[in-house]
Structure 1
């Protein structure tokens, strides 16, 4: 009886969260933390925590496909993880190899148009993992409905350092002028994986830090962050919906702030030819509370 009540309550809460969400972020990055702690809590071997966490990862991809997320980046194995005991590393590599090949052959991956890529310091990975990466990337290269980036041997500082070195070599070789180095130049030297900036970072396991994850794509875009206490194997769909609600609330707040700043600038200057501020105000006018929106419409003829 108690289980049925919980099931009904969970379903009702999920419906409530869905009703509060107007749309999903394009790019979600996930730090899947807590596999080992979950295993210890359950009295299981560490390896079992990673295995159950892999099942949560499969569910996450289903949720992203259902909600319309266009890109997912999973922090699977960091450069710091090489410090773990050899048996733990080998098990994770075995699991990654298995899941990459399983995903690459799964009908639902092909039906959903999932493109799989790996990002990170590939030369640090075992040959069997590299072979599985090549297999998965080749099998899904023609898709673009959902981009799935697997961060393996990944470190944000290493990525930025590598990009800086590539740019420096181009300048030294006379292929690039220093004054021509811009955002696009650096972006082209990053790992070839993410196709868009990160909108939302989700971290499980209770820690409130982003751990050197996608600093260029996330911090530059001021990505929303959602930290939650469940360990990764315990992460549920309602947790994911709550994360998306956090992102959406942040976006609404950002739009309102932009509209108010633009309105204040137009009023301060007192000149209707302030084109950039007026364009911003028109773009974000709907984010203003109704009273402010009506007043702005009357003053500056913003309404269509």
Structure 2
């Protein structure tokens, strides 16, 4: 399952609060998703936390987002549930423009969960779908292999870290995928929610999983 989290800023406006409050509430919702996931969910979960397009936002907002991610990644590294359920966490995306403190938090989180394999959480930070494909093509050329569907597929983040293609994309607020893991979502089902990310509830999560299960039954999977 892959989540495209959208609507934090609009949520902040609806409650007449600064943008950062919307992002804080959104981070809380992401934490709840992890709780719901370990109770009832597939082995693999992907969350798009920060896109390559987000770098274009005001510097103050971007810096606040980086601070939030740094705090939450550090907390996740020591979270009892992560170690109880043996969740391996990987952060994917371009890291060239990420601040040192966030990079250190990412390294801590990945190192502390490297030995686990029961559940797998993939968090996309600095990620863009087109950028991923460009990087994969360049990787194939650098390896001296022909650029084919197979060689491009071998260079995607999912392929490199052993995560299967996304089967269900859940998005709040908007009805588009915005380039979410372009190469590895070709056959993914789509589940759109007409609410803002901080408003997501456990019932929404269960409805998405149930809806996907029914689609699998109808398609004979």
Say whether the 8 Å CA contact 2:41–2:209 is kept in structure 1: no
Q: Which of 181, 193, 202 is 1:214 aligned to?
A: 181
* Residue 55 (structure 2) pairs with residue 82 (structure 1): yes
Q: Does 1:123 align with 2:96?
A: yes
Deviations 1:138-193 (A, max 9, x none): 0010111111111000001100111011112222xxxx3x39x552x333322244
Alignment partner of 1:190 out of 151, 156, 178: 156
Q: Which runs of 5+ in 2 are unaligned?
A: none
Distance 1:168 1:253 in 2: 41
CA distance in 1, matches of 2:79, 2:193: 30
Distance 1:242 1:68, change over 3 A: closer
TM score, norm. by length of structure 1: 0.69
Q: TM-score, normalised by structure 2?
A: 0.94
Q: Which residue of 2 aligns with 1:200?
A: 168
1:216 shift after superposition: 1.3
Distance in 2, matches of 1:50 and 1:203, equals: 16
Q: Deviations over 1:94-119 (max 9, x none)?
A: 00000000000111111011111110
Question: As a proportion of its length, which structure holds more helix?
Answer: 1
Task: State the aligned residue count.
Answer: 219
Alpha-carbon distance between aligned partners in 2 of 1:198 and 1:61, rounded to the nearest angstrom:
17
Distance 1:226 1:68 in 2: 15
In structure 1, the partner of 2:213 is: 248
**Contact between 1:71 and 1:148, CA under 8 Å: does it hold in 2?**
yes
Q: Distance in 2 between matches of 1:203 and 1:194?
A: 24
1:109 aligns with 2:82: yes
Indicate if the aligned counterparts of 1:203 and 1:210 stay in contact, CA closer than 8 A: yes
- Quick check: which one's strand share is greater? 2
Q: Distance in 2 between matches of 1:106 and 1:230?
A: 29
| Distance in 2 of aligned mates of 1:248 and 1:47 | 36
Q: What SS class does the counterpart of residue 123 from structure 1 fall into?
A: coil
Aligned to 1:236: 201
d(CA) in 2 for partners of 1:68, 1:142: 21
| Alpha-carbon distance in 1 for matches of 2:161, 2:60 | 29
Q: Provide the residue aligned with 1:148 in structure 2.
A: 121
SS of the aligned residue for 2:143 comes to: helix
Instruction: Pick from 136, 144, 149 the counterpart of residue 163 of structure 1.
Output: 136
Alignment pair present for 1:73 and 2:46: yes
Q: Does 1:31 align with 2:4?
A: yes
Runs of 4+ in 1 over 6 A off after TM superposition: none
Deviations 1:195-215 (A, max 9, x none): 11111100011x100001111
Higher relative contact order at CA 8 Å, sep ≥6: structure 1 or structure 2?
A: 2
What is the rounded CA distance, in whole Å, between the counterparts of 1:93 and 1:169 in structure 2? 32
